[in-house]
Amino acid sequence: MSSVIDFIQARSNFWQELNYSLVRFDRLFVTGNVINASISGVAISPVTYATSQLNTINLLIASINNTGVAIAEVYSFDTSNKTIKVTGLLGSLVNIDSIVVTAGSVQPVATIVLSKYGTLLSQATLIVGSAFASCGQTNYAIALVMMHWLTLQSQSGTGNAQSGVITSKREGDLAISYAHNTSNNSNGYWGQTSYGQEYLQLKRSCFMAVRNRMFP
């Protein structure tokens, strides 16, 4: 059976957007700090503080890039250079197993903000529930819900009235609410994207398949 990841990779360009985590240090590095980390089961080469915060962050990024399982960059929304964005490679979900700073007079503590994939997967799984289990399409349905949400997010601010207006947004774990515009849209909320429409069609087809088996 195809996984949720398989469907997302095959049907959209959203995988890279989903497949990254953030590492946020609570303070600047200091002389003597040594950084060790494990990314998706691969240990990085230890990084020692070098002259400045930016130099040290860049050394950490280079060490992560050398693992061959992820690529890192300075997170553009953090001007203090205390946050890095780590994106998984090879089509697998990125996992920051651990990241620890030792030595030096103080040791910054890293907080890991998990990938959007994990957050959206949990939310979509709750919405889909067991409705598609009887026809073996649960993973497909979950992927469609996730791609529907991501399409709405990408449409916001582009002048597409059907995407609705963002009423709330939280950075990191991704929590977005929309004021939905259902005019000229017979399928309401799900009709705003092709993935949502496909989700409705899948739901109808699964329902009919169950009825046909129950009532020949």
- Judge whether residue 18 has pLDDT over 60: yes
pLDDT at 160: 39
Range of the domain at 208: 117-214
What per-residue confidence (pLDDT) applies to 134? 86
Residue ending a domain, choose from 88, 114, 140: 114
CA-to-CA dists, residue 160 to 100, 151, 153, angstroms: 44, 11, 11
Domain boundary among 81, 114, 147: 114
Give the pTM: 0.67
Q: Mean pLDDT in the chain?
A: 84
Question: Angle of helix 138-155 relative to helix 116-128, nearest 10 degrees?
Answer: 120
Same domain, 81 and 126: no
Q: pLDDT digits over 198-209, tens only?
A: 999 999 888 765
pLDDT at 155: 80
b/e per residue 45-64 (b: at least 16 CB within 10 A): eebebeeebeebbbbbbebb
Terminal CA-CA length for the chain: 27
| Angle between helix 4-11 and 138-155 (nearest 10) | 50
Domain count, the chain: 2
β 47-48/20-25 pair status: unpaired
For the stretch 164-173, pLDDT in tens is 433 444 555 5
